Structure 1
Amino acid sequence: MTRTPLRPLARILRARARGENPDEIAAENLRKRHEALRDKARQRAEGRLLVLGLAFFCAFSVIGMRMGALASSVPEEPRATVAGNPIIGQRADIVDRNGRILATNLATHSLYAHPRDMIDPARAARELAAIFPELEQEELYKDFTGTRRFLWIRRQISPEQMQAVHDIGSPGLLFGPREMRLYPNGPIAAHVLGGASYGREGVASAEVIGVAGVERQFDAFLRDPANEGAPLELSIDLTIQAAAEQVLAGGMSVMSAKGAAAILMDVHTGEVISMVSLPDFDPNNRPRVLTSGDQSDSPLFNRAVQGVYELGSTFKIFAVAQAMELGLISPDTMIDTQGPLTWGRFRIRDFHDYGPELSTTDVIVESSNVGTARIAMQLGAERQRSFLDALGFLKPTSIELVEGSTGKPLLPPHWSEISAMTISYGHGLSSSPLHLASAYATIANGGERVTPTLIRGQDAQPGPRVMSQTVARRSVDMLRQVVSRGTASFGEVTGYQVAGKTGTADKARENGGGYYDDKVIATFASVFPASDPQYVLVVTLDEPSIHTLGEDRRTAGWTAVPVAAEMIRRVAPLLGLRPHVDTPQPVGVTLTSN
């Protein structure tokens, strides 16, 4: 920067020549310099103030817009920003194969008391007893006036109950947050879901744990935050489950049965589409376990999985299929049915006299005990045991229920020849309806072992081959004739070609002392459609009896079969199966052209 001197020589010389004072020139130049510095400083200050003003304007504008946005938005809890997905603390939902909710969570509250903070314990006890009828006013007052510092009143309450307690206005009544397990469909699929309860709990939180069914079997999965809230998807179809329960409940009532079970299974994947056990319960209000008596009398008892019964003549097809697989017989082989068949002190009889002999097919169609026992004599005890083991009858099923391991088949202590003979027609070996459904699915799908599952979309790996496709197809054809002209004629459903086998077994006494004379387990194991088997349905009734045609009837043909037929009639369209209608041939004269 060029600096102007205060006493420039040229001006000083001119001023002296004119007789002027040179000091005035220096003073004027000093004044001009100060004015220039002042103007420059002012401009700098004004610039800084402008920038600061703009900064304040922008800041207040941002703050104002943010306040406006917050004022117009819906309030929500602040959440910490983290990398990745947030941690899921809730128990995961359970859904059916179509994604419909079977079990979910509901935010609610618990109610507890600090008695020492209460102003009027008598009034609090009286008001609480009015809100919760199951609570005793005297006991509450005794607890409130005792030495206790803390008292649980209710583990979970509804919003209406919470408001009613809040209106009492007692400072000693407090609420804690809770997450309860909710089953929006009530008792539908109750034995599959099982139920949940509280584990470790405090006033601020509680741990929800599964206590039965898939809730307990998959408890770790449902509670694992790493799954990010992904639901547990079951193979159950909610619509079909509801229809099956409705039909079975109606059939159980009409047949005056003590209990009932039904299983619908895909023969190729082993997926259980429906599993029903009656009587049932509401998992929202799960009853207590029986502490005495027969556990099978409890509604918690899963008859489809835990109930092991002698399933009667439904076993006959296994003896015939094995004999055909070994080449010992064919569908047309004539079997000696002359009775009674005597083995030591035991006598085997048929329900009717079928004459001296029947074909293998008619042994199944007419359900001949004598004929089946003679086939079993050809098989032998060891080969029969090995075959039934291959079908899964000698150990509990691997179904994904904690109750599955308790459904252990009851086997004879010594598998003798007479054991083989009686087991061939379903006596002497007790198994669950789920065992039977799996074995029939093995026959229906062409002879490959089926493993039942409650999880949808499992990679269905082909099981070991138990019998050839030819034998399996012949077995299904025999079962079809049981319905079309045999003991299961009431099982015919127009358009769906039902195949199946009835089984009526005397019910064993609870103390192991023989059998009841007037109580049976009636079972119908069916396959449909017979031309291209897709599903197996097993229906079992405990102690059924119906009075018709002037007498009491208990056999499966009169009890379990009509119930199963109605169930197929209801669920087959829901399964997407189109009825097959035979086109009648033209009658009369037909005009043809040459």
Structure 2
Amino acid sequence: MTRTPLRPLARILKARAQGENPDVIERENLRLRHEQMRDASRTRAEVRLLILGFSFFVAFSAIGIRMGALSASEAAEPRSLASGAEILAQRADITDRNGRVLATNMLTHALYAHPKDMVDPPRVAAELAAIFPELKADDLTRRFTDGRSFIWLRKVLSPEQMQQVHDIGDPGLLFGPREMRLYPNGTLAAHILGGSSFGAEGVHSAEVIGTAGVERAMDARLRDPALVGTPLELSIDLTVQAAVEEILDAGITMMNAKGGAAIIMDVKTGEILSLASLPAFDPNNRPNPVLPKDAEPGDSPLFNRAVQGVYELGSTFKIFAAAQAMELGLVGPDTMVDANAPMQWGKHRIKEFQGKNYGPLLSVTDVMVKSSNVGTAKMALQIGGLRQQAFLKSLGFFEATPVELTEAPGARPLLPARWPEIVTITTSYGHGMSASPLHLATAYATIANGGITVKPTLMKQTGPRPGTRVMREDVADAAVSMLRQVVTRGTASMAEVPGYEVAGKTGTADKPKRTGGYYKDKVINTFASVFPASDPRYVVLVTLDEPVETSGTEPRRTAGWTSVPVAAEITRRIAPLLGIRPMVEAPPADRLTAVRN
């Protein structure tokens, strides 16, 4: 900045020449300089005040906006600033084929404590023990006073319990929001759903992971952030499942059985519309799997008899021998086979039930109707062991079922280490190898599907999936016709449901002992059926563990008296639910029909 001299020489000389006082010029210039300095200072002060005022405005606006946002949001505990992977708490719902909820999420809270922040630990311990009976006041007091800085008290709280804890009023008790898995139907479809638990946990959230059943088998799909909003649709029908479980439970009680299983399967798609295993459990409160040392695996309510239960399935296997023999061209439905009993094979003696003899000759159809062990054995010897194994393998009896349950891969069939001719014989009528009820239902669905294999699934399908043909269509039709005659004039007469053309086969197998051999008075009974026989749509299978029917003078343990009536009632109840109309025979043309206007 250019400064003006206070006593400019030219003005001073001119003022002296005119007789004026030069000091006046100096004072005037000094005054003007001071005024310029004052104006510059005022301008700088005004700019600074403007900037400061704007800064205060921005700061208080930001604080106000943040306070408004906090007041409108739900209160939450502060999160740790430590680095780490975020806990994914959300999980997709599970629904049945009609969109009805089987599993969903519910917002709840966990309870934890900061003992160092507690005002009166003994009082807090006493009041918590009064709210939660499983907590002991003395133990809580010790934990609150031993120097710990953090303690989990409860993983899940009900709203009432949360309010009671809140009323204690101690600053050392804190709540952490989290989602938990809820199964609104209780024990219904428990073995399908399996259950869930908490994985990684924090005070602000917890990871929900599947522990069994579909929840574990499809865990990655249910936890996928991209699919959290899309429910997992199962193939089961909740209404059918409820009816099946109700009837199976009543049947187990009436037949004095330890437990049982039932399966309903669509023969075209392999969809499982119902899969029941009893006794069951509540997945909302999954029990401890520990059993006494002398208990059998099936004694646990967690045991899925339909999938994990690997049993000798008895005479239900006979239809496979007949179907393979027809497929190979060795016999036809009316071919006569040697059924003269007993049959001696080396040191082994093959007998019929109760020492009967259905021989000397029976048609292949009558071998099925009368459930002849000897007739089936003779067909199996014609087939041969290698071809028998290949056929059973094509039906899925040599591998675990591919159903979407975490228990399925561990339930592999029990096969003989060697396959001599005696194994060929015993396997033909369901002894010597063991498989699950689901294996059997899948094989029967293959026969009912015209000889094309189906893959069992618990996922809803849009239509049939391509399978492999393992027998000609005419052979499959003949096999279903034989099964129909087993119901109309054979061992499964109690399975007849008017209007629904039930076709099926009974199987009664002695229960093996752990130490070897078989029980004399304990059996596994199975009835595998399809309906309607003229156009098979569904497989219905019922298995009972140690049933005994006691309405007569002597106890009866065969499947015809135990599993068959239960399966018949299931068919009677579910057929209308599945939209299948009963077939009613038209009256003869020469009969008169009364009509009222």
User: In the alignment, which residue of structure 2 is the partner of 1:264?
Assistant: 264
Where 2:459 maps in the other structure, the secondary structure is: coil
Q: 1:413 to 1:188 in 2, by over 3 A?
A: same
Q: 2: CA distance between counterparts of 1:412 and 1:504? A: 20
Q: 1: CA distance between counterparts of 2:133 and 2:285? A: 16
Q: 2: CA distance between counterparts of 1:588 and 1:218? A: 59
**Deviations, residues 497-548 of structure 1 (Å, cap 9, x unaligned):** 100000000011124x111111000000000011110000110000001112
- Indicate if the aligned counterparts of 1:88 and 1:229 stay in contact, CA closer than 8 A: no
User: In the alignment, which residue of structure 2 is the partner of 1:114?
Assistant: 114
Match for 1:499: what amino acid?
A
Q: 1: CA distance between counterparts of 2:424 and 2:385? A: 5
Q: 2: CA distance between counterparts of 1:589 and 1:564? A: 37
Where 2:398 maps in the other structure, the secondary structure is: coil
User: In the alignment, which residue of structure 2 is the partner of 1:185?
Assistant: 185
Report the TM-score, using the length of structure 1 for normalisation: 0.84
Q: 1:474 aligns with which of 478, 482, 489?
A: 478
Q: 1:246 to 1:452 in 2, by over 3 A?
A: same
Q: 1:556 aligns with which of 559, 569, 582?
A: 559
1:571 aligned onto 2:574: yes
User: In the alignment, which residue of structure 2 is the partner of 1:376?
Assistant: 380
- Indicate if the aligned counterparts of 1:90 and 1:229 stay in contact, CA closer than 8 A: no
- 1:124-163, aligned counterparts within 5 Å? 124-163=124-163
1:422 aligned onto 2:426: yes
**Deviations, residues 84-120 of structure 1 (Å, cap 9, x unaligned):** xxx9962100010001100000000001111222222
**Deviations, residues 216-244 of structure 1 (Å, cap 9, x unaligned):** 11111111112251111100111111111
Where 1:402 maps in the other structure, the secondary structure is: coil
- RMSD (Å), alpha carbons: 2.1
Q: 2:505 aligns with which of 501, 505, 511?
A: 501
Where 1:310 maps in the other structure, the secondary structure is: coil
- Indicate if the aligned counterparts of 1:88 and 1:228 stay in contact, CA closer than 8 A: no
- Indicate if the aligned counterparts of 1:483 and 1:489 stay in contact, CA closer than 8 A: yes
- Indicate if the aligned counterparts of 2:89 and 2:178 stay in contact, CA closer than 8 A: no
- Indicate if the aligned counterparts of 1:448 and 1:467 stay in contact, CA closer than 8 A: yes
1:198 aligned onto 2:198: yes
Q: 1: CA distance between counterparts of 2:239 and 2:514? A: 36
Where 1:572 maps in the other structure, the secondary structure is: helix
**Deviations, residues 399-444 of structure 1 (Å, cap 9, x unaligned):** 1111110110000110111001000000001000000000000000
1:525 aligned onto 2:525: no
Where 1:526 maps in the other structure, the secondary structure is: strand
Where 1:464 maps in the other structure, the secondary structure is: coil
Q: 2: CA distance between counterparts of 1:148 and 1:91? A: 33
Q: 2: CA distance between counterparts of 1:474 and 1:482? A: 13
- Indicate if the aligned counterparts of 2:194 and 2:213 stay in contact, CA closer than 8 A: yes
Q: 1:75 to 1:145 in 2, by over 3 A?
A: closer
**Paired residue total:** 512
User: In the alignment, which residue of structure 2 is the partner of 1:539?
Assistant: 542
Q: 2: CA distance between counterparts of 1:277 and 1:162? A: 36
Q: 2:311 aligns with which of 301, 304, 309?
A: 309
- Indicate if the aligned counterparts of 1:236 and 1:454 stay in contact, CA closer than 8 A: yes
Q: 1: CA distance between counterparts of 2:558 and 2:126? A: 58
Match for 1:537: what amino acid?
V
User: In the alignment, which residue of structure 1 is the partner of 2:460?
Assistant: 456
- Indicate if the aligned counterparts of 2:89 and 2:207 stay in contact, CA closer than 8 A: no
User: In the alignment, which residue of structure 2 is the partner of 1:346?
Assistant: 348
The percentage of counterpart residues that share the same residue type is 65
- Indicate if the aligned counterparts of 2:318 and 2:429 stay in contact, CA closer than 8 A: yes
- Indicate if the aligned counterparts of 1:193 and 1:213 stay in contact, CA closer than 8 A: yes
Q: 1:332 to 1:88 in 2, by over 3 A?
A: same
Match for 2:385: what amino acid?
A
Q: 2: CA distance between counterparts of 1:520 and 1:491? A: 20
Where 1:198 maps in the other structure, the secondary structure is: strand
User: In the alignment, which residue of structure 1 is the partner of 2:248?
Assistant: 248
- Indicate if the aligned counterparts of 2:210 and 2:219 stay in contact, CA closer than 8 A: yes
Report the TM-score, using the length of structure 2 for normalisation: 0.83
User: In the alignment, which residue of structure 2 is the partner of 1:43?
Assistant: none
Q: 2: CA distance between counterparts of 1:458 and 1:536? A: 19
Q: 1:228 to 1:308 in 2, by over 3 A?
A: closer
Q: 1:392 aligns with which of 386, 392, 396?
A: 396
How far did 1:337 drift? 1.1
Q: 2: CA distance between counterparts of 1:296 and 1:565? A: 25
User: In the alignment, which residue of structure 1 is the partner of 2:216?
Assistant: 216
Structure 2 residues not aligned, in runs of 5+: 1-64, 76-86
Q: 1:588 to 1:392 in 2, by over 3 A?
A: closer
Q: 1: CA distance between counterparts of 2:438 and 2:322? A: 21
Q: 1: CA distance between counterparts of 2:288 and 2:493? A: 42
- 1:47-126, aligned counterparts within 5 Å? 90-126=90-126
- Indicate if the aligned counterparts of 2:88 and 2:206 stay in contact, CA closer than 8 A: no
Q: 2: CA distance between counterparts of 1:257 and 1:520? A: 10
Match for 2:586: what amino acid?
T
- Indicate if the aligned counterparts of 2:222 and 2:228 stay in contact, CA closer than 8 A: no
- Indicate if the aligned counterparts of 1:89 and 1:225 stay in contact, CA closer than 8 A: no
**Deviations, residues 152-210 of structure 1 (Å, cap 9, x unaligned):** 11101111110011111122111101100000001111111111100010111111111
How far did 1:75 drift? 6.0
